[in-house]
Amino acid sequence: MTQQAKLIAVGSALVDQLAYVPEEFLDTVEGEKGGMELIENDDMNELLSRLPEKPYRAPGGSAANTVVGVATLGLDTGMLSKVGKDEPGEYYRSALRAAGVDDSAFKVTDDVATGTCISMITPDTERTMRTFLGAAATLAPDNISPEDFAGYTHAHLEGYLLFNEELIMKVLDCAKEQGCKVSLDLAAPEVVSANMDKLPGILEKYVDIVLANEDEAAAFTGEEDEKTALNKLVAHCETAVVKIGKRGAWIQQGDEQAHADAYKVEAVDTTGAGDLWAAGFLYGLLSGWGLEKAADLGAFVAAQVIQETGALIPPEGWQKVKQHFSMK
């Protein structure tokens, strides 16, 4: 009897604080409008205290967005990350538990506060983000052991881990020691460009599924044409994905190639779209669906999240997903 798929995600635990602010509020915030800048905890607390209205709080981070989606679709899941011994850290873990994600692999520190990302949304819908990485940035190789991956069949990693080579190698070695397949989301073209010295070797030796958007694929392969980039990516691992926004996604596994269209909906906010696409695709693939159907599920899930503010899909959105694919 085949072991039932069980996925653990590894990445940064960041409490998202989503706040609607008037344009003039950003004049009081240091740094440029749009994009993301790192700040210290004192600056984060000061900024939170000045918001014109109470922010909406949600568990965030790329890996968390994906694992919550996979859990909601119905697979057994867990997450490995690090939080502070504080109220935001307990909130984060309880929110994941409520979504069905096992938090027993979490690490906790007394020394640093839980990471936070504040997202200030102006009337033009643009987001200006300020992030305190906090405890998430202190996850270290000696925090990780093979036991963290015991019982799991699949480990999903966010690309930001590549910036800590010792950490990602420890994670990969421990996951493989327990027999896990590995997927890696490349995260951003800047992540790819900064890690080209080690990324090809990691893909070839450890990664079974690599997920990229067209910019990340181009950064890795030097190819602007997404199908050419896909062919070069899949030469490094078993399965490769190149997401191309409104034009859908290309997927290749060995010689088999598939395309999934994007669903046309009114987009409110594209935050988390790639993470939730990955959730749908990984759920489908790990459940034995074919490439095309798994990618179609990814596209449908991504279409639900871009109709919301933030990276959480409400229950009615998940109900649409399950009805569309005749899932329980």
Asked, for residue 260, whether it belongs to a domain, the answer is: yes
Residue 114's nearest CA partner among 139, 149, 150, 96 is 139
Q: Which residues pair with 182 in a beta bridge?
A: 155
CA 109 from centroid of its chain's CA atoms: 23
- Examine the pLDDT at 195 and tell me if it is beyond 80: yes
Provide the residue type at 218 as one letter: A
Cβ within 8 Å of residue 2, ≥6 positions away: none
- The separation between the first and the last C-alpha atoms of the chain, rounded to the nearest angstrom, is 22
- Examine the pLDDT at 1 and tell me if it is beyond 70: no
Calpha distance 317→9 (Å, rounded)? 23
Mean pLDDT of 115-128: 87
Provide the residue type at 302 as one letter: A
Calpha distance 185→205 (Å, rounded)? 16
Asked, for residue 40, whether it belongs to a domain, the answer is: no
Asked, for residue 87, whether it belongs to a domain, the answer is: yes
Domain hosting 180: range is 6-12+61-113+134-324
Structure token digits, residue 262:
């994007």
Number of domains in the chain: 1
> E strands within 61-134?
76-80, 82-84, 101-102, 107-109, 115-121, 127-132
Residue 149's nearest CA partner among 115, 174, 112, 124 is 174
Give CA separation, 282 vs 75, 93, 109, 184, 308, in Å: 10, 22, 31, 11, 22
Query: Angle at which helices 62-73 and 315-324 pack, to 10 degrees?
Result: 60
The pLDDT tens digits of the residues spanning 196-232 come to 999 999 999 999 999 999 999 999 999 999 999 999 9
**Residue 51 confidence class, pLDDT cut points 50, 70, 90:** very high
Asked, for residue 34, whether it belongs to a domain, the answer is: no
- Examine the pLDDT at 307 and tell me if it is beyond 90: no
Cβ within 8 Å of residue 238, ≥6 positions away: 208, 209, 253, 254
SS3 content of the chain, % helix, strand, coil (to 5): 45, 25, 35
- Examine the pLDDT at 315 and tell me if it is beyond 60: yes
Instruction: Give the global pTM.
Output: 0.92
Calpha distance 98→66 (Å, rounded)? 15
Asked, for residue 49, whether it belongs to a domain, the answer is: no
Predicted local confidence at residue 3, as pLDDT = 66
Asked, for residue 17, whether it belongs to a domain, the answer is: no
Asked, for residue 149, whether it belongs to a domain, the answer is: yes
- Examine the pLDDT at 2 and tell me if it is beyond 90: no
Mean pLDDT of 51-80: 95
Asked, for residue 178, whether it belongs to a domain, the answer is: yes
- The residue whose two tokens read 């639900």 is 304
Mean pLDDT of 253-269: 89
**Residue 310 confidence class, pLDDT cut points 50, 70, 90:** confident
Structure token digits, residue 186:
């490349």
- Examine the pLDDT at 104 and tell me if it is beyond 90: yes
CATH of the domain at 167: 3.40.1190.20
